Every structure is written in C-alpha cells, then in structure tokens.
Amino acid sequence: MPQVEECVKMSNFVSVEDLPLKIVEQLLKRASYFKNGGQQPKFKQPVYAANLFFENSTRTHCSFEMAERKLGLTVIPFDPATSSVKKGESLYDTLLALNSIGVQLAVIRHPQNDYYLPLLDLAPTQQLNLGIVNAGDGSGQHPSQSLLDMLTIKEQFGHFAGLKIAIIGDLTNSRVARSNMQLLQRLGAEIYFSGPQYWYDAAEFGQYGQYLPLDQLIEQMDVVMLLRVQHERHQSEDQFDVTAYHQQYGLTKERYRKMKDDAIIMHPGPINRGVELDSDLVEAPKSRFAEQMRNGVFVRMAMLEAVINGRKLGGI
C-alpha cells in the first residue's frame, strides 16, 4: 500500500497534458488505496478549500466536495450566482479575496479555456498564494475526469498498452476527449475517433488516432468512450437531429451486441439518454458509467492530497 511519503507533490493541478506517467501511476495507486479503505492522511493543520464552479456541474462539484470532506478539509461555500462576481469582480480578485480570508485551495471550473494560465504565472509582487485544481476549463482540460477514466480502464484491463479505445461524438467541444487522448496516447493505447465529421478536426485529432465510422470500429474496441453532445457550446443546432444522430453515431442495442465480450462502455456524464447511447444501456453489464462516478471521489482525493503535500498545507 502506498505510504504518505510516497504521495505526489504538486503546487497546482491543472492539466494532464504533460503530467509525467510516473505521477499518473502514483495517483492511480493512491486512488485505489483510498477506494480499498486505506487510511486517510491525518493533516496536522486545518486545510481550507473553496469550490468555484462558473459552469454547471453535478459529478465534478459534488465529487470534489466529497473528496474534500473525506480528507478532512474545511470547505468554504462559494456560489458565483450570489458572489461579487455578479458585481464584476474578476477571477483573480475573487481568488485574492478568498485567499486573504484563509482559503488555501481553489477547485475551479470555468468556461474559458486555459483560464488558469495567468494565475500560475504571477509576478512576485502579487499576493495570491493558493493551490489551483482545475475542474474543467472550456473545451481544454478535465484532469480529474481523465484520471478517473484511467482508473476505471486500469481496473478493467490492468494495463493501457495496446488497448483499442474509441472516443466518439462531440469531439471539438470536449475537454474529456482532449485530456483522455493526450494521456491515453502516452500510456500506449491505440486511439480511434468516430462521430459526425463536423465535430472532427483532422489537424488536431489526427495526431492521436484514426477517424472511422462506428460500425467499422465497434467489434474491435476494448473501450467505447461516448461523449456528451454539448448543446450549450454549439453556435447552431441546425444540423442536429436526435434520431439520426443516435442511429448513425450512437450506441444502439444492435451495436452493443457486436462489442467484444470484455469490452466496456464509458461516458463522462451527464448522459443524453437515447442520443449518445440507448437509455437501456446506461446500466447494462458492459457499462462502467456508475463506476466512473464512484472512482471520481478517490481520484480527486489523490489529486487534492498531491497539492496539499506540494504546498505543505497540512503541516506534514
């Protein structure tokens, strides 16, 4: 079992793009340790966290809060809708206020890609001194989703190298697709893409894998990773027909029957039932949807602990 001194130390946790694979491995081990009832770290000093969600969330928000409570952190409530953000206060000034009050860790979801970059590159004269954990930025990164997906895949197959993984659907708008393709490629998986051509950008995704019609992929894939159709990010919905989408790009019962015996279905949630997959398949034997959400808590505990250790916030 991993010990406290083997834990990862990070100042912030914003992306998996360049996260060393050794650290990925340690975080997944640590998450498994927590999942299997391993002892939670006992911090010598109280640690104060706030969750700032500028985009809607159920899984990530509640899961980070559960992870914080399991680690014994004190969570300071923050709701953008009733905060001074509504009076025009900037993200930096909001964080400066929270940090001055005593918040040491900020978990942030934000609609703007790379919102965290200016916060990581502050001039020495600036007073902000708190750990940033990215809970999703626009269509950029979703590191906690990516790591919980890796844990779910590892639990199923025990390895990543050589696994055939299809990422299907609204690729252009998906931070889950970006984070996962970046990490899975480095972990040695064979990546495929499918879905509507208007959501596939060959210049970006072509570096990571091949784009093929779903019916050419379904029988060979180990992991069928479906993406939510992100209506809120679309300029126009003119092209979108639910029935046509489901028939052409969705996981129908017919396609499900063609999957390999030990293949799994994944979806980051929230699911558009009857669109990305048939509603009856959400809890089918091959679906790992609920397990992904369960794993999210333990992965987030490992991520938060890494930043607490990196900043020596807990006094250990």
In whole angstroms, what is the distance from residue 193 CA to residue 282 CA? 21
Tokens of 203: 């210049």
For 44, phi and psi rounded to 5 degrees? -80, -20
Tell me whether residue 57 or residue 248 sits nearer to ligand CP (CB atom): 57
Closer of 153 and 218 to ligand CP (Cβ): 153
Closer by beta carbon to ligand CP, 136 or else 209: 136
- As a whole number of angstroms, the distance between CA 2 and CA 216 comes to 42
The binding site for ligand CP (CB under 6 A) comprises: 57-61, 136, 145, 268-270
Secondary structure E strands in the chain: 48-53, 74-76, 105-110, 131-137, 164-168, 190-194, 209-211, 223-226, 264-266
Q: What are the tokens at 225?
A: 């990773």
Map tokens 């051509």 to a residue.
197
Give the nearest distance from C-beta 23 to ligand CP in angstroms. Answer: 22
Which CA distances in Å does 79 have to 51, 60, 119, 174, 175?
8, 15, 20, 24, 23
The residue (of 61 and 154) whose beta carbon lies closer to ligand CP is 61
- The residue among 104 and 292 lying less far from ligand CP, judged by its C-beta, is 292
The rounded distance, in Å, linking the Cα atoms of 162 and 143 is: 22
Nearest distance from residue 82's CB to ligand CP, in Å?
Answer: 20
CB of 269 to ligand CP, least distance (A): 5
Nearest distance from C-beta of residue 265 to ligand CP, angstroms:
15
Least separation in angstroms between residue 87's CB and ligand CP is: 26
Least Å distance, CB 272 to ligand CP, is 13
Q: Which is nearer to ligand CP, 33 or 53 (CB)?
A: 53
Q: What is d(CA 210, CA 192) in angstroms, rounded to the nearest whole number?
A: 5
